[in-house]
Chain A
Amino acid sequence: MAITAEHIREKLTAEIGAVHVEVEDTSPNRCAASFKVLVVSPQFEGKTLLQRHRMVNSCLAEELKEIHAFEQKTLTREQWEKQNAQ
């Protein structure tokens, strides 16, 4: 299974209601499939950092078996807007 940035974006949008996803394919810097994602979802509201990351991990559980390195940042819509305003 070849994992693409587009596939990751679609899955996060469909399964955890992400309203904004940035996927950076960092594979060229490493020896195998690697990705860095920024996920903005209203479903992160009221959840701890660990719970949010667990949501992303379980959404991409199948893919993570194939991915060598995975970095993630999880924001609510409000945190995302605040970050953009800076």
Chain B
Amino acid sequence: QAGNVELGELVKKDKVVVFMKGTPAQPMCGFSNAVVQILRMHGVDEYASYNVLEDQDLRQGVKSFSNWPTIPQVFFNGEFVGGCDILLQMHQNGDLVEELQKLGIRS
């Protein structure tokens, strides 16, 4: 379970961490793109993103670490928030603004 320890460190290193397919500049999947667009809409420019397409161990590792079967995955302050559907619903119901405020990010 060394991988889980490393991932535990990784998700705490930055306030906002995204595991996605592709990069924010070039998302390779519509769901990953949706997460990038939502963050952009809220003025979240500085976040850590990891491309799971470049690393199969990471792709599997993050799924078992968060016990979540799909990519993208979003973490705030080291805590798993959810995937694209959850982020989209938080954006629509206003929860996302609140959560970002807790991180000191004004959207």
Contacts and interface: CB of A to CB of B under 8 A. Distances in A.
Interface residues of B, number: 14
Highest count of chain B CB atoms <10 Å: which of A49, A64, A65? A49
Nearest to A49: B86
**Consensus secondary structure, chain B interface:** mixed
Interface residues of A, number: 13
Given A49-B90, A69-B31, A64 B85 contact: no
Contact of A73 (B68, B82, B85): B85
9 contacts: A49-B86, A53-B82, A53-B83, A53-B85, A70-B69, A70-B70, A71-B84, A72-B85, A73-B85
Interface of A: 49-50, 53-54, 57, 61, 64-65, 69-73
